[in-house]
């Protein structure tokens, strides 16, 4: 006690001064919280003190963690991450962390696709999702064409919070597909339809002009697997598809929507776009609808279900 407590002041006043100073010391010692002690009974009939943390002082600062939301962007077969860069920039401007994957065998030369399997592509996506999960509370996958197929496969097998497909491929319409297991050893190459874009003068820069038939076979195999996995996908889904897609039939969107197991699912049909919707006439609509979907799901979901449940 300080010397002013030993003055001629009345005893009640000296006690009040001591109690006030004791409260100040406790406030600083507990980092802005006030600790009071209660008495609790022990098993032997005695009493032990119990510290209770009261509400912080109204004058104390505070810090609360928010939710950081990210999205992995996946390009299509024979394309490059550049085809998704516009969407990535728009997402980032909207406050979403983004990372674009470069799938194995892409971004170099068409010959590098030979020998690459769909499992190799999926592993690249899975690693990117796990890396983003380390810095984000909510992680979405958004893929175009083959990338959309991979996004669905990821949603069925990895921990993500939502999936967006842009012209995803479940099947192709070509009567020769049944011969692919043999044909790929006889005819190594086929023309790449990567520039199926309605907007005049726009091309998918960096897209290969050709692709190995073995890569087409890998895509077809993955499409069949994903079709069987659709009921297992429980996370929210946004399905986007061009009404005049010349690569992945427009009916694919309805097929995904009908069979996916998600309770929260949306579908958007684009009237002015072909296959490469990230570069086509409905770009602004795709970005606006996707951002609304990510924000609604990413900031409102309280928990993330395990894949397959």
The residues assigned a catalytic role are 145, 245, 275
Write the burial class of residue 271 (CB in 10 Å: 0-12 exposed, 13-18 middle, 19+ buried): exposed
Strands 69-74 and 97-101: parallel
Residue linked to tokens 């024979």: 78
38 forms bridges with which residues in the sheet?
50
Return the structure tokens found at 258. Answer: 């009908």
Q: Are 251 and 176 in contact (CB under 8 A)?
A: no
Question: Which residues have C-beta within 8 Å of that of residue 15, sequence separation ≥ 6?
Answer: none
Within the chain, strands assigned E span: 35-41, 47-53, 69-74, 97-101, 138-144, 162-166, 189-191, 210-212, 237-242, 265-270
Cα distance between residue 141 and residue 276, in whole Å: 17
């Amino acid at each position: 006690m300080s010397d002013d407590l030993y003055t001629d002041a009345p005893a009640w006043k000296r006690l009040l001064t001591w109690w006030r100073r004791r409260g100040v010391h406790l406030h600083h010692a507990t980092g802005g919280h006030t600790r009071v002690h209660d008495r609790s009974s022990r098993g032997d009939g005695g009493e032990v003190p119990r510290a209770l943390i009261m509400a912080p002082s109204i004058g104390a600062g505070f810090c609360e963690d928010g939710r950081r939301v990210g999205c992995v962007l996946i390009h299509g077969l024979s394309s490059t991450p550049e085809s998704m860069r516009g969407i990535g920039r728009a997402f980032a401007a909207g406050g979403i962390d983004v990372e674009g994957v470069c799938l194995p065998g892409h971004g170099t030369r068409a010959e590098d696709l030979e020998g690459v399997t769909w499992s190799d592509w999926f592993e690249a996506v899975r690693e990117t999702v796990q890396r983003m999960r380390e810095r984000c509370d909510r992680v979405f996958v958004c893929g175009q064409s083959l990338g959309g197929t991979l996004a669905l496969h990821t949603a069925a097998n990895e921990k993500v919070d939502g999936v967006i497909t842009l012209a995803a491929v479940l099947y192709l319409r070509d009567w020769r597909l049944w011969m692919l297991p043999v044909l790929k050893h006889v005819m190594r190459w086929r023309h790449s339809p990567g520039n199926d874009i309605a907007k005049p003068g726009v091309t998918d820069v960096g897209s290969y002009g050709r692709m190995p038939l073995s890569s087409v076979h890998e895509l077809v195999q993955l499409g069949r697997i994903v079709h069987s996995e659709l009921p297992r996908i429980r996370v929210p889904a946004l399905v986007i598809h061009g009404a005049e897609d010349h690569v992945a039939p427009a009916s694919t969107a309805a097929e995904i929507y009908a069979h996916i197991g998600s309770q929260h699912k949306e579908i958007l049909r684009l009237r002015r776009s072909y296959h490469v919707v990230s570069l086509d006439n409905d770009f602004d609509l795709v970005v606006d609808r996707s951002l609304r979907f990510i924000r609604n799901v990413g900031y409102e979901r309280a928990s993330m279900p395990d894949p397959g449940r």
